[in-house]
Amino acid sequence: MNLVDLLIGGILAFIMLSVGMSLNWKDFKDTFANPKAYLGGLFLQILVLPSIAFLIATLAPLPLAFKLGIIVLSTCPGGTTSNFVTYLLNANAALSICLTVTNSFIALFSIPFIVNLGLQHFYGTSTDMVLPVWDTIQQIFLIILVPVFLGVLIRRLRPVFADRLQAPLKWITLIFLAILFLIKFLASEGSGGTGITMAEIQQILPFSVLGNTLNLLAGFSLAYFILRLKKNDQVTLGVEVGIQNTSLAFLIGGTLLGNEDVLKPALVYAMFTFFTAIIYGLLVKPEERRQLIQLIRKPKK
């Protein structure tokens, strides 16, 4: 593992520690006691997202590698970024974490199946691609479960300390997340970054925006019109399907498939989905606008 990947792993673990410090054990119990939102999120990520991706990839006038990249991205469950955005919007972070962990395990089987469908559809071929099971499990535990557990434990043992840290931690984690994206954009390919041209960004961006918009609408429609969920769960489902695990998409495209072009749609998608997810949350929860304004103004006092 190179230095860039180690730094990114550390940043993601710190973000999850911050998220964990906003939660307690009851939040996770409530998620499974009333599993409607949880099951709805799984349905969206396992079935709806790949369906939208296949539709867009089939109709879009893009090179085959970019089409396959859209399919690959749709199979990658929401990662720590979606957990952090849910936490930032004061939505259901426990639900977000449960969906991320569950989908990460399901991805071990669903990704090879769906990616092979994409290969057959666009290339007329297939591959014996197998995700690295141990590495995936290790990532789930070290970057998600262990930091979240420590955060919840800190909140249980030192609740006043945890509450006092909430506002500054949101600023610190926001800065760290910005650093993470800058690393991916500015680092050389040999150091863990990825090379992409402005022409490729302009080529991919319209279809990425379309896919993201449809994903957010699908999350909101299921949560609001069909499942009749509370606002926090509406925000969480939208964020979970609106933000994907681009690091996993990089692994599949660059390492397992050996095609750097396949991972470029994931990079373009990551450029703006943090902001569209925030906008989505503010539209669903107008009361968050006032709280975010207070958070922005507080350091100036």
The C-alpha torsion from 251 through 254 and 259 to 261, rounded to 10°, is 90
CATH code, domain with 46: 1.20.1530.20
pLDDT for residue 19: 87
pTM of the model: 0.85
Cα 198 from Cα 187, distance rounded (Å): 16
Residues of the chain with pLDDT under 50: 300-301
Residue 295's pLDDT is 60
Domain carrying residue 71: 3-300
CB 261, CB 267: distance < 8 Å: no
pLDDT at position 190, please? Answer: 56
Q: For residue 144, how many other CB atoms are within 10 A of its CB?
A: 23
Residue 5 has what pLDDT? 63
Nearest CA to 83 among 71, 101, 70?
101
Q: b or e along 63-102 (b: 16 or more beta carbons within 10 Å of the residue's beta carbon)?
A: ebbbbbbbbbbbbbbbbbbbbbbbbbbbbbbbbbbbbbbb
d(CA 82, CA 164): 23
Instruction: State the pLDDT at residue 77.
Output: 75
Contacts of 174 (CB under 8 A, 6+ apart): 88
User: What total of structural domains would you count in the chain?
Assistant: 1
pLDDT score at 209? 97
Query: Dihedral angle at the C-alpha atoms of 230, 235, 238, 244, nearest 10 degrees?
Result: -140
Q: How confident is the model at residue 166, as a pLDDT?
A: 78
**C-alpha closest to that of 252 among 31, 40, 44, 70:** 70
Across the chain, mean pLDDT equals 85
237 and 44 in contact (C-beta within 8 Å)? yes
Q: How many CA atoms lie within 13 A of 279 on its CB side?
A: 10
